[in-house]
Amino acid sequence: MVKKRQLGNTDLYVSEIALGCMNLGTNVTQASHVIHTALDQGINYLDTADLYDFGQNEKIVGQAIKGKRDQLIIATKGGNHFEPGKDGWYWDPSKAYLKEAIKNSLLRLGLDDLDLYQLHGGTIEDPTDEVIEAFEELKQEGLIRYYGISSIRPNVINRFVERSDMVSVMMQYSLLDRRPEEELLDHLNDHNIGVVVRGALGKGMLTNKGQSQWQKKGQDGFLDYDADQLKSVVTSLQDLANEAHLSPQSLAIGYVLNHPAVSSLALGASRPEQVLDNVRAYEAAQLSEDLIKKLKQITKANVYKQHRQ
């Protein structure tokens, strides 16, 4: 079963792997089966967003969790402005829109309140104080318990650390994307802000299907890896996994969970079998210090090059 960790300084204890709901699809029966499989495995944390299938994802999650609300921690995201019947969306972090968006999300989810509401992105040009004011008012109104942001931009994250009472940051972090290690993870941990990780399996390249996923998704490289370097790293990680009698997935999950700032990994699934695969890999992911050291030697200590000012 899946263990739990405290999310930042909150009273929320989230499963160390969460179900990232983005890839559930729009088949209600299939998506519900995925969600129920996750719950049966001890996953208590579901992460969705209003933008996923333009609200349909939240509706599906809401239907699947009826009668189970008290067992779960539900997170969604807002800030991408879309309207029913119209194509596309645009970024709108205004106070007025965020306060409208959360009410629409709650209606779709069938909930009276939300455990965690996250800004779905963010730029340094945003009216940050207005965003924070919106979040604080939503807390006072009892519509949300806590708030955070979903961002990989150091300048945005640091601004919220300085000015807000956010409890979490959702960010990309994996063996192939170690950028958060250099400056963000310790900083957030020092401020009791929990990290929710996305992308821990590196577009599938950090799984048993690493080579085929590299063929599909690695031909243009990944961050500061060119295609050949990426293939070499994927191969080396598979070799190390074989040597350690673990799956590459276990190495990837165990490595990211090793940092104390990390509260949970949001792992996506479109089929129940993928949930079970993720849980099996997680349960085996007990990595020694020596193994962690070898993983660091194989991969690059990437750094953030953009969003500095």
Contact 19, 68 (CB under 8 A): no
Catalytic residue among 52, 147, 225, 255: 52
Unique residue bearing structure tokens 């079998």:
273
Cα 213 to the chain's mean position, in Å? 20
Backbone angles phi, psi at 150, to 5 degrees: -115, 105
State yes or no: is 45 an active-site residue. no
Strand partners, 273: none
- Alpha-helical (H) ranges within 15-166 are 28-40, 56-64, 95-109, 128-140, 154-163
Residue 43 to residue 48: CA distance in whole angstroms: 14
Contact 170, 150 (CB under 8 A): yes
Burial of 221-256, coded b for 16+ CB within 10 Å and e otherwise, reads ebeebeeeebbebbeebbebbeebebbbbbbbbbbb
Token code pair at residue 76: 């969604």
Contact 98, 129 (CB under 8 A): no
Q: Kindly report the number of other CB atoms within 10 A of residue 142's CB atom.
A: 9
Contact 101, 91 (CB under 8 A): no
Catalytic residues: 52
